[in-house]
Structure 1
């Protein structure tokens, strides 16, 4: 499949168009009127040799935060990277750079959610001074700067701290990756932070870099 064969929505989609498409899908999800697009056999076969996702979603691994479902998209639509507490490491940065440099994805979303267990564990460790065992400690250490910043701003609520952590993560992606920052500066890609409300199913932008 070459570019001429691609659906119109995957050709040179702008960051604003990509975000609008995801917002529309999330609105359908909230309303209970999902379309379940691009989930049939023809779509599956069309993606055997190529992919052209219009967004990358870097989200928390929480089982309640299935990106394709909450944004009502299908196969080949979004490139998904997930870690507990959307913690950034070298593998995450490499995956996101791949999506920007090779797949030319116009939008990166950092997706957090309320009642996040990883953020809650970090807040508890910060308050008590006791770190969790094993590699959970690594997660907590990487989230701690966001918790400290939230605390300095007088934020003690876990959901408000999640918002701070999402905002901090969007900053880190742009600061840490020359590939991502160059794509943002050129206007080819935007990086936005989004929080998801478990009860309502609504995704809301809370930070961003690049034109939307």
Structure 2
């Protein structure tokens, strides 16, 4: 057995010691306040991003490309791991969190623009992302290098995932759908590790969002509009 697993198992002992009495009210059910859909990436510490140390507070989903869809028998549908907490536990806030330097968006961009991918083995995920990212590739501003293009498309992908949720009949009007980008590259000019709000219920205008939500105006920003 590799030492890497032994190490994390030993750290779990500290976790168990700290949390052993945190589950008393959660033995039979849960009522998380927020669903967070994140990208599967070792650089994105999904719960830690939110400072979450409270079991039952955040329902965390992760997959390649922070997608909210899966392929069903009749086509793409909203994933059950997103719908479950909304429909069955009363959660009224869904956050779609992309991140700078996203490998899934990079692979999708390369596949769409050059017909290749340097990330073999994730073809299924790319096929789900391509329809959402392809219009963004065509709309990219001129003169962007590959890294900048990818980070623009990270925003575009988040926007598209928010749109899918807003168009879903099971996601009612009382549910807030918020799109954000986790920036560990410092692209947005703030501290690395900050989350920047780019979309709320389909509204993408930075000015409109800052006016509507002055309590978080310093955390609302975008790299581009289209």
- State yes or no: 1:46 paired with 2:25: yes
- State yes or no: 1:84 paired with 2:70: no
**Per-residue displacement from partner, 1:66-112 (whole Å, max 9, x unpaired)?**
22101011211111111101132158621221111111101000010
Instruction: Please provide the CA RMSD for this pair.
Output: 2.5
For 1:71 and 1:92, locate their aligned partners in 2 and report how far apart those are by CA, in whole Å.
Answer: 24
Q: Aligned-pair distance for 1:166?
A: 0.4
Q: Which residue matches 1:170? A: 162
For 1:61 and 1:133, locate their aligned partners in 2 and report how far apart those are by CA, in whole Å.
Answer: 14
Q: Which residue matches 1:59? A: 38
Q: Which residue matches 1:206? A: 198
Q: Which structure: larger Rg?
A: 2
1 or 2 for the larger relative contact order (CA 8 Å, sep ≥6)? Answer: 1
Q: Is the 8 A contact 1:81 1:92 kept in 2?
A: no
Matched ranges for 1:85-124 at <5 A: 85-87=65-67, 88-89=69-70, 93-124=79-110
Among candidates 194, 200, 210, match of residue 180 of structure 2: 194
For 2:96 and 2:195, locate their aligned partners in 1 and report how far apart those are by CA, in whole Å.
Answer: 11
For 1:42 and 1:69, locate their aligned partners in 2 and report how far apart those are by CA, in whole Å.
Answer: 20
For 2:181 and 2:103, locate their aligned partners in 1 and report how far apart those are by CA, in whole Å.
Answer: 14
- Give the TM-score normalised by the residue count of structure 2: 0.67
Q: Aligned-pair distance for 1:152?
A: 2.4
Q: Is the 8 A contact 1:85 1:119 kept in 2?
A: yes
Count matched residues: 169
Q: Which moved more, 1:196-205 or 1:109-118?
A: 196-205
Q: Is the 8 A contact 1:195 1:203 kept in 2?
A: yes
Q: Is the 8 A contact 2:32 2:58 kept in 1?
A: yes
| Unpaired segments ≥5 residues, structure 1 | 1-38
Q: Which has the higher helix share?
A: 1
